[in-house]
Structure 1
């Protein structure tokens, strides 16, 4: 398949941790893959932001499971093109899975343009909804 995004990351977001997998490169044979796990406190989300910026990531994808994606999205939305994916549509094949493999799977799907974006209202509308 053709690589559409050369610098992307997949985030596997949970209540206590976020696993980020960055994929960098235009061809599969020279692909650079880096994975890091971050806690979900605000200071750690800013560490995640810095980690992604240090790798010149342009696009990010994450699942929209529960409410855990919201603070991550709110902090990263001004810096990256974020794809919020429906979890049912990007499920990996059944079997042994880990947070690291899920983050890599999400990054690979994004890299090839295989994730459909879920609608996320603008920030001002989200603030009204929170009220």
Structure 2
């Protein structure tokens, strides 16, 4: 499976989930794997920031004795972004720019994770 297949999976996800305007998959160290977002010029920067966000979130969860990191959400007054680990060394990033709706974003992540994880495993083979 090539990156185009991963992008197709992300496009399908975006067409199915209301309120999510962009999605990308990155490695745990911030290298972009696949992206479907309006501004693809910033996808590599988003991937790098997602890795940093995931690292800080994992350390915060450890310090607070919250268990293994399930995800990190950044919320602004114009939208929010969710950063979730996929397996051992990948990250799924979903974001919406239509106002802060964290509940909708969490639902989108729960729906997307199994499919994206399966597509990523096929890509890595």
Q: Structure with the greater relative contact order (CA < 8 A, sep ≥ 6): 1 or 2?
A: 1
Normalised by the size of structure 2, how large is the TM-score?
0.33
If you compute each CA radius of gyration, which structure gives the higher value, 1 or 2?
1
Considering fraction of residues, name the structure with more helix.
2
Normalised by the size of structure 1, how large is the TM-score?
0.32
